[in-house]
Amino acid sequence: MGNKMIVPFGSQHVALPEPVRFVFETENEIITNVEVDVGYVHRGIEKACQTKIGYKQVAYVVPRICGLCSISHNMAYIIAIEKLLEFEAPKRAKYLRVLAHELDRIHSHLFAMAHVAEAAGYENLVMYLFRDRELVMECLELLTGNRVQFDYGCIGGVNRDLTPEVEKELRKKLKKLEERLFWFRDVYLNDYTLNLRWKGVGVIPKEMAEKYNAAGPVARGSGVRTDARAEFDALPYRELGFEMVVYEDGDIWARNMVRMDELLISMRMIWNVLDGLPEGNYKENVKGMPKGEAVCRWEAPRGELFYHVRGDGKQILTRMRVKTPTFSNIPVLKELFIGANYADVPAIIISFDPCLSCTAR
Instruction: State the residues that interact with other proteins by CB under 8 A.
Output: 11-14, 17-19, 39-45, 47-48, 52-53, 56-57, 60-61, 64-68, 70, 111, 124-125, 127-128, 130-131, 133-134, 137, 141-142, 145-149, 151, 159, 183, 186-187, 190-193, 355, 357
User: With respect to other proteins, which residue has the nearer C-beta, 64 or 268?
Assistant: 64
| Residue among 335, 307, 149, 157 at smallest CA distance from 228 | 307
- Min dist CB 287 to other proteins, Å, is 17
For other proteins, the closer CB: 168 or 225: 168
CB of 19 or CB of 223, closer to other proteins: 19
Which amino acid is residue 154, in one-letter code?
A: C
Contact 136, 177 (CB under 8 A): yes
CB 282 within 8 A of CB 161: yes
In the bound complex, what is the minimum distance in angstroms from residue 41's beta carbon to other proteins? 5
- Minimum CB separation of residue 315 from other proteins in Å reads 10
Q: Is the CB of 25 or the CB of 134 nearer to other proteins?
A: 134
Q: β-pairing, 21-27 with 291-300? A: unpaired
DSSP 18: S
Least spacing, CB of residue 336 vs other proteins, in Å: 23
Shortest CB 18 distance to other proteins, Å: 6
Among residues 3, 39, 8, 33, the alpha carbon closest in space to that of 22 is found at 8
In angstroms, the CA 356 to CA 87 distance is 34
CB neighbours (10 Å) of residue 77?
26
Measured from the CB atom, the residue of 48 and 244 that comes closer to other proteins is 48
Distance CA 47, CA 233 (A): 30
